[in-house]
Structure 1
Amino acid sequence: MPTEAQKTDTTISDSRAAPAQLAAAVTAGLRDRIDAELIAFLETHSRNLVEIGPEAAPLAQVLVDFLRAGGKRLRPLLCYWGWRGAGGADEQAILTAAASLELLHAFALVHDDIMDASDTRRGRPTVHRQFTTLHDRSRWHGDADLFGTGAGILVGDLYLMLSEAMLHQCDLPSHTRNTLRGLLTAMRVELAGGQYLDLVGQAQQEFSTATAARINRYKTAKYTVQRPLQIGGTLAGATPEVLAAYSEFGMPLGEAFQLRDDLLGAFGNHDSTGKSTMDDLRKGKPTWLIASAWHHADPVQRRRISALYGNPDLDATHAGELREIIIATGARDGAERLITTHTERALHALRTAPLAPEARAALRELAHAATTRTT
């Protein structure tokens, strides 16, 4: 027979498990619901593009296919649980609003791939490369790369405009949407500013952990975690305390997420990530990982970093040499420790946040998935 203490422990365990099980069940089906919302919305607008002229059919097809090709849907999921954490119910309006953030993210990815001259995304050719191939295969006049870049910019622009349109078609009070406008503007400006810092960092080849952390803060932490949570919370009428809790949870989690991304960019598996593990090294991305390696490197290692990092002709052998330096200087282990530290800070903030229990459980699982992922 169980003792009274064992009975109490079981009751506590069950009471904690119930919100977690509920959250897991909701989140499991949420991605499919978001995807269905996105594809239905995009298919309507892709038909409108084809009506402009049959030549626009490839543009319309890419618009839908890029979203079909995958994605973590992290920003919509965080937006949804930001709403639920503030007391919002599961309803169509928040699903539409949350899905609109994935279109904003698609805009950012397509333009980011153009700026980085990336060849693959999600295991497929990047959008601008698909249009370059279309130009080549069609034997059209002019520069195929320039055509691909132009068409890719248009696809990104369409996602940006359609994200706004999708948000405004959701059934939410106009005053709520007006309150949201400031947050969305901040999110977009922070994203653009962080992206520019990233470009400058590549151009300057400044190996600074402080600069890398600032880029991570604006390009990723705010845009990926903090703002989606706050948008969901604002739509649900969250209190200032809840919005502050979303910042305390979201910022360290976003920084951990970016550090994991940097590690995958250098050490990941192409088959898992769907992206080249050479891009960051060849472009000279101003990551915390390389800045830490530089800081701890000896003179010989620094000379090799200077010679190899950011070299567009970097081959697999020299990429391996760079990875060995990152490991030898302790930068890879340091990034893992920092991920753990940031994640623990985020989870500590979550434990004390004034949120609905099922939302707290869902956010805890999303934090784990975001920081331990292999894709």
Structure 2
Amino acid sequence: MDADVPAAVRRCLEQIIDERLAHCTSLDTVFGDDLATRLAGFTLHGGKRNRPQLLWWSFRAAGGDARHTAVALRIAAALELLQTCALVHDDVMDDSALRRGRPALHTDIGHQYPTAGPDFAKAAAILVGDLALAWADDIVAGAALPAPAADAVREIWRVMRTEMVAGQYLDLHGQATAVSSPARAVRIACLKSALYSVERPMVLGAALAGADARTTRILSAAGRCAGIAFQLRDDLHGVFGAPHATGKPSGDDIRQGKPTYLVAVARARAGASGDTEALVVLDGCVGADRLTESRLAEVQRVLERTGARQVVERRAERLGGGSVRRLADAALREPAAERLRELLRAAAGCRSGPHTCAADNGWMLLGTGRGQR
């Protein structure tokens, strides 16, 4: 595992998925070929296994040893299936045509059944996501968890799934109502992405290792800082990134009217400075399905002119540096702790050494209700 975590997780996934594919095909070959096989391909042939790596290196840094390797590996595999559910459903809700540089799953189903219509393809994709979630839950429910960790792992898993749904709904709600503030935008980012992408995998690893409460709190805080920084960077890539690098069309967040922190900051700064031209551009372009490249360029210029891009970049940098700094307060084992620091730097996109996260303590309250305005 230590030598190559993604490869070990893939081998575990292959074994789990092969068993379930055989069962699905025995139920019906059309169901097995159309849905279960697509689920397998999506899960096995994409992604960087970041969540399993965060779980594994947190587990090792917190003292996890060979006795619980097998169960840690299976929980890591469950995280990948949960990610499949989240991405497939997200693409349906956002009507995204691409994922990881290839046709999104509902788009692929639509190509197979061109006369069935988009509603059929999206409904089928929703079932793929549901199936992935069911498989993930089966893995966790059937895992031979060590007695002290069993209740903690299952409680974290339960909370994480609910947080994901809450974040996804708030994202949709923000698109539908076009109401968002910087604080609200970060709360959505925290619930939708930061928690299940970084913080919860790390806390799962700590629980599997039997970590004490103090170590768990430190890993949780570090993970939340890095997770929010990850989402802020993702928002920047969604507007300024090249499609060949992001795997998705540039400007999708703007077209869909996503309530991102980047756009919320631009609106707030434009309003405070009386920049009515910037507000007109944002009002006319954010949520415009037929957004042209020239109009997207106008939005990019507004995000630059208002200073929103720079604000978001600096905030992500501070949070990312702070996430690494927080780990120094825990008695973690090397060299696993250094691997964990590397993962947090990569997740947050840090370009420089660690900085204090103290100025961003208000962000750590997201999820408690106190960060919402």
For normalisation by structure 1, the TM-score amounts to 0.88
Q: Provide Cα deviations, 1:170-210, integer angstroms capped at 9, x if missing partner.
A: 43235632332211111111111111111111112124111
CA distance in 2, matches of 1:359, 1:220: 24
Give 1:94 deviation, angstroms.
Answer: 1.0
The residue aligned with 1:327 is 304
| Residues 13 and 44, structure 2, Cα contact 8 Å, conserved in 1 | no
> Amino acid of the residue matched to residue 50 of structure 2?
L
* 1:167 maps to 2:136: no
The residue aligned with 1:43 is 18
Give 1:47 deviation, angstroms.
Answer: 2.1
> Amino acid of the residue matched to residue 125 of structure 1?
P
The residue aligned with 2:198 is 225
Map 1:159-308; keep pairs closer than 5 Å: 159-173=132-146, 176-297=149-270, 298-308=275-285
* 1:65 maps to 2:65: no
The residue aligned with 2:291 is 314
Give 1:362 deviation, angstroms.
Answer: 1.1
Q: Report the count of equivalent residues.
A: 344
Q: Provide Cα deviations, 1:26-85, integer angstroms capped at 9, x if missing partner.
A: 3x6111111121122112212221222221212122011101331121111111122112
Give 1:290 deviation, angstroms.
Answer: 0.7
Give 1:252 deviation, angstroms.
Answer: 0.8
* 1:126 maps to 2:126: no
| Residues 223 and 344, structure 2, Cα contact 8 Å, conserved in 1 | no
> Amino acid of the residue matched to residue 274 of structure 1?
G
Gaps of 5+ in 2: 351-373
2:90 to 102, 112, 115: 112
Give 1:236 deviation, angstroms.
Answer: 1.6
**Structure with greater helix percent:** 1
Give 1:371 deviation, angstroms.
Answer: 2.2
CA distance in 2, matches of 1:123, 1:36: 24
The residue aligned with 2:348 is 371
| Residues 207 and 294, structure 1, Cα contact 8 Å, conserved in 2 | no
Q: Provide Cα deviations, 1:332-360, integer angstroms capped at 9, x if missing partner.
A: 11111011110121111012222112232
Gaps of 5+ in 1: 1-24
Sequence identity percentage? 37
| Residues 351 and 360, structure 1, Cα contact 8 Å, conserved in 2 | no
Comparing 353-362 with 101-110, greater Cα deviation is found at 353-362
| Residues 69 and 122, structure 1, Cα contact 8 Å, conserved in 2 | no
| Residues 110 and 127, structure 1, Cα contact 8 Å, conserved in 2 | yes
> Amino acid of the residue matched to residue 245 of structure 1?
I
Q: Provide Cα deviations, 1:230-289, integer angstroms capped at 9, x if missing partner.
A: 111112211001111112211111110000110111111111111122311100111111
| Residues 133 and 144, structure 1, Cα contact 8 Å, conserved in 2 | no
Comparing 165-174 with 239-248, greater Cα deviation is found at 165-174
Q: Secondary structure at the match of 2:335?
A: helix
CA distance in 1, matches of 2:252, 2:259: 12
> Amino acid of the residue matched to residue 34 of structure 2?
P
CA distance in 2, matches of 1:273, 1:33: 26
The residue aligned with 1:55 is 30
| Residues 324 and 345, structure 2, Cα contact 8 Å, conserved in 1 | no
Give 1:155 deviation, angstroms.
Answer: 0.4
CA distance in 2, matches of 1:50, 1:216: 38
Q: Secondary structure at the match of 1:357?
A: coil
CA distance in 2, matches of 1:207, 1:164: 33
RMSD (CA atoms): 1.8
CA distance in 2, matches of 1:51, 1:320: 52
For normalisation by structure 2, the TM-score amounts to 0.88
**1:182/1:169 CA distance change after superposition, 3 Å:** closer
CA distance in 2, matches of 1:71, 1:33: 14
The residue aligned with 2:313 is 336
> Amino acid of the residue matched to residue 329 of structure 1?
T
Q: Secondary structure at the match of 2:173?
A: helix
Give 1:361 deviation, angstroms.
Answer: 0.3
CA distance in 1, matches of 2:268, 2:95: 28
Give 1:87 deviation, angstroms.
Answer: 0.7
Q: Secondary structure at the match of 1:238?
A: coil
